[in-house]
Every structure is written in structure tokens, then in C-alpha cells.
Chains A and B, each alone.
Chain A
Amino acid sequence: MKECIQLMAALLGSLGFGIIFNIHGKKLLWAAFGGFYVWALYLLFQNLLGANDYIAAFASSALLTLYAEGMARWHKTPVTVFLVSGSIPLIPGASLYRTMNWLMGRHTLLFRRDSVYTLLFAASMAAGITATTLIFRMIWNLASRRLGKKA
């Protein structure tokens, strides 16, 4: 039940950020769905497969990138449109805030714990996105060159 509410909130939150980022029309709906999709994957990896936060972030943002690359080719638009709005629920905004909040309150130990968490979480996401982008483009280019030769 809690997960269902969270998924709905992820969908609506991504929709909101899609509007803030000035996405219009059908693309807005698909961008918002990206948020739902990525959070569903994250919960799946964490609860059913027992992955830790970092692995779950890496894997779900890697799969989000595949979704975004596919959507971008379908809608003929830059990948960023679907990637940025889709990754919103995963973005460690809350823990970035918490980290700085500990710093302001001079809770050194909590600050150290949360700053490592935030940095590693964001790095896992960034690694997932970058690695998938590079590998996807490499395969795409090879495949289209192969197809181009045949035609």
C-alpha cells in the first residue's frame, strides 16, 4: 500500500517537474511515466532482489536510460527530455539537503555519513546513465552501419 502511494507520488512529482522544465504535449506524459517506471524498478531491485541502495540506483538509472534513448528516437527529441524528468524520484535531493542540514547543525558524524551516501548515490546514478548511454550508442552505431551496408 505504501509503495502504491509512493509510486503515484513519483508519477505526479515527475509530471510537475516536466511542466517546470517546459515539456509539452505527449512528451510530457511519457516523461512523467519515466518517473513512475524508474521508482518501480528501484523498489523492485531493493525489495525483491535485495540489492543495496547503490546497486539499485545504478541498475534502475541504467534501465531508465534505455527507456529515454528509445523514447527520444521515437519522438525525435534530445534524450535529456526523458532522462532528466524521469530521474526526478531517484535524484538524491532530500539527502543532499539533509547532509547540508547536518553541516549547519555541526553534527559532524551524521554529516560524514550522509555526505558519503549522497555522493555515492549520485555517482551510482551518473555511472548507470553514462555507461548505458555509451554502450547503447556504440551498439546503435554498429548496428546502423551494418544495416546501411546491407541496404
Chain B
Amino acid sequence: MTALSNQDADKYLYYAMEIGEMMLTSGAEVGRVEDSIRRICTAYGASRVDVFTITSSIVTTMYGETFSPRTQTRRVSGAQNNLLALDQLNQLSRDICARQPNLKELERSLNRIKCGKRYSFPVQVLTNALTSGSFSVFFGGTFMDMIASAIIGILLKFFEAAMKRGSSNGLIVALLCSSFGGLLSNLAVFIGLGQNADMISIGNIMLLIPGVAFTNSLRDMFSGDIITGLVRFIESVLLAMTIALGFTFANFLF
């Protein structure tokens, strides 16, 4: 590795932060993000790297013999689980440690990951139906409950997509979606499709409720990332409260 000038160090650090940010938004644990940034910077010739990451921010300072200390920060917002991107980013950072690709190559591989494969909208709609139906049966719903839950799952996906275009606030989208879902499940029982409104809606609730985030927040705290854990814990409890409020509101109307 050639000795880095100040400008080069800045550029490499920029890409390391870019990879870290993308990992964080596609669902990596904080520890993995910190570890990857540290490894990437070290691979490019830093002698010491200090990384601090929480769910909404990354701060990195890297030190080296040929350049003055470089610091960059990122404000990270919005996270959706995209495990394919996480997989590819992980491979990229291994590749960087193994053979230090140059800036052009880095940019090209990052762009390839950014516009990576996603399931098409129709597949996502069908997935919603599959998941809602499965969980309605899982928690003890009947066959008709499953059908009703699957249909509501499809409608909810369209509703969610429309709402997300209108508002970027996750809580308000969740509130509207859960009220809509609650109304539909009561309506389904009212017209005779399905027997138990609560069994129908539990399938839809599983799609909205942040159960994974809740469990992961405790995992974060157990592995020492207390701040991240607390932030995720409060986020998921608030979201769960909002969803319960939505369904309570819908039940209240019937």
C-alpha cells in the first residue's frame, strides 16, 4: 500500500463511512458496522481507528503516519432490513481487506450494491398475504380467518405504499395502517368472512409490530451497546403502542 496523502485518506475514509452507513441501514448490528469500518481503514494504511456508532449516527477518526488525523461523521436515518445488501457489503469489506481495491473500483461495487435486486411489488403483495395468513393460523385462527387475513394483508400493502408516499413519519403510517387493518378485520367478520376479528388481525399485526427490533434491542444491550439498545427499545415500544392504539380505535368503532 502506498503512503496516503491527506486527500486520499479523506476519500478512502468517505467510502468506509459509506459502507458503514449502508450496512447500518440494511440491518447490521452496531458491532459489525464498527468492526467493518475499523478493518477497512486499517487495510488502507491507518495506524489507529476510533469508531463510535449508534443507530442514528457514525463518527470515525483515523490516524496514520503519512496524514494528519481525519474525522468524518454521518447522520443515519431510515432503516429497512435488506439482508441481500448486507451480505454483499460484507463480501465487499472482506474483499477490501484482502486486496485493497482503488477508489474507482470501490465506487463501482458500491453502486452495484445500491441498485441491487429487490423483490417486485406484486411479489411483495403476495408475500404480505402469505405471511398474514400463516400467522393467523399459527395463533389458532380457522381456515376462513386465514383467507380473510390474507386478503386484508394484500389491501394493507397497497394502503401502506400509498401512505408512505404521503408521509415519512413511521409512527403516523403505522397508526393509519393499523386502524385500517382493524376496521377491515371487523368488517370481514361483519359480512361473514372469518369468525374471530382478533385472529384475523393478529396476522396483520405480525407484519407491523416491531418484534424483531424489540428482541434485537435486548441483544444489543446484552452485548454491551447500551445506548443503541435503549434507543431501539424505546422506538419499538412506541411503535407497538401506536399500533395497539390504531387497532383499539378500530374496535371501538364497531
Q: Give the distance in Å from the alpha carbon of A88 to the alpha carbon of B179 in the complex.
A: 24
Asked if B218 and A123 make an inter-chain contact with CB atoms under 8 angstroms apart, the answer reads yes
Q: Give the distance in Å from the alpha carbon of A17 to the alpha carbon of B124 in the complex.
A: 10
Question: How many A residues touch the partner, as a band?
Answer: 35 or more
Q: Is A10 interfacial (CB 8 A cutoff)?
A: yes
- Write out, one digit per residue, whether chain A residues 19-40 have a CB within 8 A of any chain B CB (1) or not (0): 1111110010000000000000
> Which A residues lie within 8 Å of B206 (CB)?
13, 93-94
Residue of A nearest to B116 (CB): A22
Asked if A91 and B211 make an inter-chain contact with CB atoms under 8 angstroms apart, the answer reads yes
Asked if A19 and B119 make an inter-chain contact with CB atoms under 8 angstroms apart, the answer reads yes
Asked if A13 and B131 make an inter-chain contact with CB atoms under 8 angstroms apart, the answer reads yes
Asked if A17 and B131 make an inter-chain contact with CB atoms under 8 angstroms apart, the answer reads yes
Asked if A77 and B90 make an inter-chain contact with CB atoms under 8 angstroms apart, the answer reads yes
Q: Please report the total number of B residues contacting A with Cβ < 8 Å.
A: 53
- Knowing A13-B135, A16-B127, the reply to whether A80 touches B28 (Cβ < 8 A) is yes
Q: Is A105 interfacial (CB 8 A cutoff)?
A: yes
Q: Is B29 interfacial (CB 8 A cutoff)?
A: yes
User: Chain A: interface secondary structure?
Assistant: helix
Asked if A84 and B28 make an inter-chain contact with CB atoms under 8 angstroms apart, the answer reads no
> Which A residues lie within 8 Å of B82 (CB)?
21-22
Q: Is A60 interfacial (CB 8 A cutoff)?
A: no
- Knowing A78-B32, A97-B205, A126-B215, the reply to whether A23 touches B84 (Cβ < 8 A) is yes
- Write out, one digit per residue, whether chain B residues 167-204 have a CB within 8 A of any chain A CB (1) or not (0): 00000000000000000000000000000000000100
- Knowing A78-B32, A91-B215, the reply to whether A22 touches B139 (Cβ < 8 A) is no
Asked if B119 and A22 make an inter-chain contact with CB atoms under 8 angstroms apart, the answer reads yes
- Write out, one digit per residue, whether chain A residues 78-122 have a CB within 8 A of any chain B CB (1) or not (0): 101100110111011110110111011100000000000010001
> Which A residues lie within 8 Å of B214 (CB)?
91-93, 96, 118, 122
Q: Is B244 interfacial (CB 8 A cutoff)?
A: yes
- Which A residues fall within an 8 A CB radius of B? 5-6, 9-10, 12-13, 15-17, 19-24, 27, 76-78, 80-81, 84-85, 87-89, 91-94, 96-97, 99-101, 103-105, 118, 122-123, 125-127, 129-130, 134
Nearest 9 Cβ contacts at the A-B interface: A93-B211, A16-B131, A100-B244, A126-B218, A91-B211, A9-B138, A13-B134, A12-B134, A93-B209
- Which B residues fall within an 8 A CB radius of A? 27-29, 32, 81-87, 90-91, 117-119, 123-124, 127-128, 130-131, 133-135, 137-139, 202, 205-207, 209-212, 214-216, 218-219, 221-223, 236-237, 240-241, 243-245, 247-248
